[in-house]
Structures are given as structure tokens and as C-alpha cells.
Amino acid sequence: MNIYTSFIISINVFFYLLKILINFLNIKKTSNNIPEEFKNYYNYEKYSKSQQYLKETTKFSMITSTIILLVKILFITQGMFNYINNIVISFNISPIFTGLTFVLIFFFIFEILGIPFSIYSIFKIEEKFGFNKMGKKTFFLDLIKSWIVNIIIISIILPVILFIFINSSMYSAWLYVFVSVIIFEIFIIFISPTVIMPIFNKYTPIEDCNLKNEIEIYMKKENFKMSGLFKIDASKRSTKSNAFFTGLGKFRRIVLYDTIIKNHNIHEILSILAHEMGHYKLKHIKKQMIISFIITGTIIFFISLFVNKNLFYYAFLVNGKHIYIGIVLFIMYIYIPFYTISSIILNYYSRKCEHEADIYSIKTYNHKDDMINALKKLSVDNLSNLYPHKLKVFFDYSHPPILNRIKKIKYIK
């Protein structure tokens, strides 16, 4: 193992330890005191349950992260990249299909490694705390479906990326790849509501006439055009609730979990949808997409620099320069600092957007108490952490802590 290999491993260990520290501080900050805001929503037993849920999910996350880190280190030190690449090269297929085969092998390695963790998380932890409603048949069907969708996506975009890197100069390749990836991402966003999402959930029109009429009146007032108003059968997998807008242009849909329809009154649901309307009207989604595209372009630029350097492959004990191996190595080992920095930026902006969308909800729908009640119910139903550590919020939270959010809503006039 050379000095460059040691440096790569050290970077991964550092960010692993940082994550462990943040999670440890977050657990330590838990409190047995039920906040005044939640006295009518939590009894002591259920609040203790939420604390226990946080501790168990966090500890399991730490165990998972530890095992993944060890596997990643073993892959480097045991020369697994060379070993698998030699097998793929022996198939004597074109460079692009060699690269596609190599990437798909690693995709399945980590997918299969992740199955026991997913099973334990869903059928032990989530079931223990009353969230899981999914049977093993649904779990494995979802898994197979997600594999098929991901294989199709990888098989479309990866050959394009490899073709560009192989046939373009290192100075222009990243730009062509960036444009191709952005076009493909926008295409996926367009087709997702009508092609991809229905693969996993059943979409049915809202049956509650009063709810449907209230939503349509509000959407008309906001001049919001949509292709449909749907609910999905989320309750067959979990008791957790959510509502969201999805798609672009004529493919735009409003989607409600059936659990949110069951657990919330009409004014609470409309307050949540008015919040989502705020994201749309204030152009948060477009702005976040632009920020995301800039980050994507930056990452692709750095990938183009790394995959063309022999020293990069030498650091991972790989013989020769192979673009497809370079992409896998970058995503597995070098992407971590980029992800951490980009997630801090995106999460900070997202938390700001959430406050602005709350203001929009109150000013356009004018049901402040219902909005607060809806947030409290969602928090209790999902056993959310009411006292997250500031570092946890800074690094990982895309939404403001619930108590902070409620406090700011109360000051909206």
C-alpha cells in the first residue's frame, strides 16, 4: 500500500469519524422533557418511544457505515478492482460494454450487500416501532423493480458518458458529459410521475369530494395547472405520511399519501399543499435544480481531471488507466468531500426555502393553527427528533427543526 492509497483511506476514515461524532452528539442531546408545544400530542410513553427510535436507527446507521467503510478498504487493499476488471476484460467485448459490465457488477455487489441491512431496518426496527406494513413479498418485488429501473437508467446514460470520455479531449469531455447528464435528468423528472413512480405505488384519484373540491378551489385561485390530483397506497409499506408535487409542465401532479388523508383534516391537508405551492410559486424547485446542476457540473469536471491521471489509478492499486474504473473509484472514494460540501449548501438553502414556503402557506391559505397542527401530527406520526443537535441540522437537515419551524410560523402576521 503506497502513500497515495493511505491518503485516500484516511480521507474516507475522517468523514466516517465526522459522521459518527455528529450522530453521537445528536443522540446525547436527546431530552426526556416533552416540549410545551407537544404536551397535547405526546404522552410520556410515546415520547420515550420516539427517543428510543432515534437511538436505535442512529446506532444501526453507525454499524452500517462501519461495515461499508471496512468493505471499501478491503476492496482497495485486496486489489478487487483489478481482479474484477481482468474478468470483465476477458469477455473480449467493446470498451464501452466492458465499462458497462464492470459498473453493473459493482452495482449488484453493493445492492446485494445492502439487502441484509434493509431487511433488518424494515422488518426489525421499523416494525418494532409500528411503522412497517410491508410484507416480504412487497419488499423483494420493490427490490427487483428498483434494480430493473436502475439497470435501464445506467445502461442508457453510462455508455453515453464513456463514449464522450473516450472520444473527446480531456478539456471538453466534461462539458459534453455535463450537458448529456442534465438533459437526461430533466427527462427523468418529466417521465417520473407517469412512468417510474406508478411502478412502485398505485395512483388513484382522490375520492373525498370535499377534499378534492377544496384543493381544486385553492389551485384555481393560485392559477396552478396540473395533470391530476392523486393519492398513493403508501400505507401498504409504512404508516408514515407525506404529500408532494411531482413532475414538470403538463406532467405535474399533486400526490397525497393515503395515510395523510386518513390522519389529517381538510384544512391541515390544504395548509400542507399551500406550503408546497409556496415552493412552486417562489421558484424554489427551479433554483434548487440550478444549484444541483452547478454542483453536478463541478463534480463531473473533477471526475474528468481524476480519470485521466495515472497517479489516480496507482493510488487504488489499479494497473493501467480505465475510464469506467476511474468513475467508480471517484464515486466510491473521492465523492465524499464533494457530497459533504454540496449537501451543506443544498440543505442550508432548503431550510431557508421551507421557512419561506411556510410563510406563503399562511398568507395564501390563512390557516396558521391548522398548519401548526399538521406539522405536529406529522412529527409525532413519524417519531421525529424534537431536539436535534446543531451540527446534525447543519450537515443533514433539509428541513428546519420542527420547534424552530413552529416558533417562526407563530410570528407570521
Q: Which residue has the higher pLDDT, 248 or 217?
A: 217
- What integer pLDDT is reported at residue 251 of this predicted model? 66
Instruction: Determine whether 242 is exposed, middle or buried from the number of CB atoms within 10 Å of its CB (0-12, 13-18, 19+).
Output: middle
Pairing state of beta strands 203-205 and 253-257? unpaired
pLDDT digits (tens, 9 = 90+) for 161-181: 999 998 888 788 999 999 999
Task: Give the chain's mean pLDDT.
Answer: 89
> Residue 98 half-sphere exposure, CB side, CA atoms within 13 Å?
17
pLDDT digits (tens, 9 = 90+) for 64-79: 999 999 999 999 988 8
Q: Residue 221 and residue 266: Cα distance in Å, rounded?
A: 17
- What integer pLDDT is reported at residue 186 of this predicted model? 87
Report the pLDDT averaged over residues 4-17: 91
Report the pLDDT averaged over residues 1-22: 89
- pTM equals 0.86
Q: Residue 281 and residue 279: Cα distance in Å, rounded?
A: 6
* End-to-end alpha carbon distance in the chain: 63
Per mean pLDDT, which range of 226-235, 247-256, 344-353 is the poorest?
Answer: 247-256
Query: In this structure, are residues 256 and 269 in contact, taking their beta carbons and an 8 Å threshold?
Result: yes
Question: How many percent of the chain have pLDDT more than 90?
Answer: 50
Q: What's the pLDDT band for 1 if we cut at 50, 70, 90? A: low
Q: Residue 169 and residue 165: Cα distance in Å, rounded?
A: 7
- What integer pLDDT is reported at residue 318 of this predicted model? 86
Residue type, 29: K
Rounded to 5 degrees, φ, ψ at 386 are -85, -15
Distances (CA, A) of 351 to 142, 224, 370, 396: 31, 24, 21, 11
Q: What's the pLDDT band for 250 if we cut at 50, 70, 90? A: low
Question: 49-56: which pairs have CB atoms within 8 A and are 24 or more residues apart?
Answer: 49/129, 49/383, 50/380, 50/383, 50/384, 50/385, 50/386, 52/129, 53/125, 53/129, 53/383, 54/26, 54/27, 54/30, 54/383, 54/385, 55/27, 55/30, 56/125, 56/128, 56/129
Is 185 a residue whose pLDDT tops 70?
yes
> Residue 205: in which H helix or E strand, if any?
strand 203-205
Q: Residue 391 and residue 342: Cα distance in Å, rounded?
A: 16
Q: What's the pLDDT band for 208 if we cut at 50, 70, 90? A: confident
